[in-house]
Amino acid sequence: MSKNLSTSISFFVGLDVGTSYVKSVLIDNNKEILSSFVKRTGTSIENSSKTALEEVLSGASLSRSSIKHITATGYGKSKVSFADSDKTEISCHAKGAYHYFPKKITVIDIGGQDTKVIKLDEKGKIVRFKMNRKCAAGTGAFIEEIAYRLDLPLKELNTLAVKSTSNAPLASFCTVFAKTEILTRIKEGEKVEDMIKSAFDSVIRRIIEMAELEGSIVLTGGLIAHNRIIGVILKKEINTDILIPPHPQLIGAIGAAHFALESYVLEINQ
């Protein structure tokens, strides 16, 4: 970090524009999070991104002119016209996770429409990654569909699932077939908590089949932020360390904010 930057307080914003939610994070030059905000992406990426920026600034009582650099990431990053730069989802999730766990890790980000498995070496360099984009299997959308079918609020799923003693994943990864299976289980009188647990089991099973999971596993994304049982199930299945950062849903935005800081440092040192 340059001498000029370290002697004064500067502010940076990272925006993670996902398919389901827009996440914004504001940090200072010490990488301290001063404010964060999450909202549904909705039908207008530009408007949702602007709102996310306004709210994260309001949360820290700062004006737009106080921000030195804004970096956008996520599937909608190219639509954030006010961003100073953009970075890939893979690089931002990797940087955000490595910030909290600076060692060799495998990052599993369970998003609304896709799941990412990113392997990093000891220095935080991306070794390889894999993404699941074929269908909703193993994603937050899969769980949302199951919750809708069971007529349950998303916020209640974890509390119910931890009560289950069942160990019977849904037979199908496909959301359409899974919903049909849920209807059959409802007809057969299966407990609600067991059906929810089976849905979480299926998400984990899909992730395990995506890629070889080794070393310390870092779980990120909105699904793990609200459903810690996912970490419990995964640990039981692969018998390895499961790490969850302080702000699982914000990891991509945190990584983007760190890139924003780095871009500014590079700029003023040129």
Shared-domain flag, residues 113 and 199: yes
CATH number at residue 189: 3.30.420.40
* Predicted TM-score (pTM) of this structure: 0.89
When pLDDT is cut at 50, 70 and 90, the band that residue 135 belongs to is low
Residues 93 and 116: beta-carbon distance below 8 Å: yes
Q: Is the pLDDT of residue 110 over 60?
A: yes
The average pLDDT across 224-245 equals: 92
Shared-domain flag, residues 255 and 235: no
Shared-domain flag, residues 63 and 158: no
Shared-domain flag, residues 115 and 86: no
Residue 54 tokens, joined: 């306004």
Q: What is the pLDDT of residue 113?
A: 78
Shared-domain flag, residues 111 and 145: yes
Compute the distance between CA of residue 202 and CA of residue 222 in angstroms, rounded to an integer. 17
Shared-domain flag, residues 225 and 111: yes
Q: What is the pLDDT of residue 138?
A: 63
Shared-domain flag, residues 93 and 128: no
User: What range defines the domain where residue 158 resides?
Assistant: 102-244
Shared-domain flag, residues 126 and 224: yes
Q: What is the pLDDT of residue 38?
A: 96
Q: Which residue has the higher pLDDT, 176 or 74?
A: 74
Q: What is the pLDDT of residue 4?
A: 44
Could you give the number of structural domains in the chain? 2
Shared-domain flag, residues 25 and 109: no
Shared-domain flag, residues 157 and 137: yes
Give the least confident one: 65-74, 116-125, 212-221.
Answer: 212-221
Shared-domain flag, residues 106 and 240: yes
Shared-domain flag, residues 91 and 127: no
Percent of the chain at pLDDT > 70 equals: 93
